[in-house]
Structure formats: structure tokens, C-alpha cells
Amino acid sequence: MISFKLNGKSVSTEAAADTPLLWVIREQFGLKGSKFGCGLGLCGACSMQLNGESIRTCVMPVSAVEGQSITTIEGLGTEENLHILQQAWIAHNVPQCGYCQSGQLMSASALLMKNKAPSEADIDNAMSGNICRCGTYPRIKAAILDAAN
């Protein structure tokens, strides 16, 4: 059995140790906001936070999170109480197709936890592992800068 915190609650799983965390979160816990894109750790669609750091969960075995704290998009904000980045995402109409956006938000919120006033270069650096086929990068950057102010 592997135990960890998921969005602040203690949970456990009987999944095989090498099962990618993404599948455990989506299939066992039913949290479908995190997406499968490449499965190779390259696109960022599956991003969650491990102890506040953005990670690629399609290539992370669930055994690696024993005793750790995982946050998904479902733990970032609620419909009644949106995270400041979610508010900025809406204000800037960031998503186009939307598929990558939960991963984008998890990386952006990890950045703002470490750096409350990121420069454009800081944002480029922190967000470089999150790919958007619709090319929403300018709106993502504007939303992060807005939320940081």
C-alpha cells in the first residue's frame, strides 16, 4: 500500500508501485482534470504539484510519492473560491481548446509560490515545459503577470 496526501487529504492506493501517478489520480481517485498528452514527460499536460513543485505525473511512479503531498487542479481552487490564477485565466480568456490548461495552471501556481513577482524571463523559464498546441503563450504570460500584481 502506498499512502500520500492528495489535495490535503490522506489517501492510499493498492496500485502497483510502477503505475504512473497520473493513472492513479485519474482512475482510482476520479480526478480527471490532469490530462494525458505525450506520456513521455515532454508536454506538461499531466502536471501536478509534488510538495509545491510542478512535476510530470505520466512518468512518475506512484511509489515515488509515498508520504509526500500531491496537489492537482481540483485542489487549486473551487468554483466558489477560484485561485487568483484561475481568475486571471478567465479575465484574459487564456484557454483555446483547454486541454493543456490544468497543467499550465499547476506550473504557474508553483512558480508564484516560489516567486511572487516573476519577470517575463522567470515565467518563460518556469513554463517552458508546458506545451500549448493552440499557442496561448502570450495570454498565459499576461495572466501570470496580472495575478502576480
Rounded to a whole number of angstroms, the minimum distance from the CB of residue 58 to ligand FES is 3
Rounded to a whole number of angstroms, the minimum distance from the CB of residue 22 to ligand FES is 7
SS3 of the chain: the string is CEEEEECCEEEEECCCCCCEHHHHHHHHCCCCCCCCCCCCCCCCCCEEEECCEEEECCCCEHHHHCCCEEECHHHCCCCCCCCHHHHHHHHCCCCCCCCCHHHHHHHHHHHHHHCCCCCHHHHHHHHCCCCCCCCCHHHHHHHHHHHHC
Residue 19 contacts ligand FES per CB under 6 A: no
Which of 36, 61, 77, 134 touches ligand FES (CB under 6 A)? Answer: 36
Residue 42 contacts ligand FES per CB under 6 A: yes
Q: Which stretch binds ligand FES (CB under 6 A): 4-12, 37-45, 113-121, 135-143?
A: 37-45
Residue 32 contacts ligand FES per CB under 6 A: no
Rounded to a whole number of angstroms, the minimum distance from the CB of residue 36 to ligand FES is 5
Residue 64 contacts ligand FES per CB under 6 A: no
Residue 61 contacts ligand FES per CB under 6 A: no
Residues that bind ligand FES (CB under 6 A): 36-39, 41-46, 56, 58
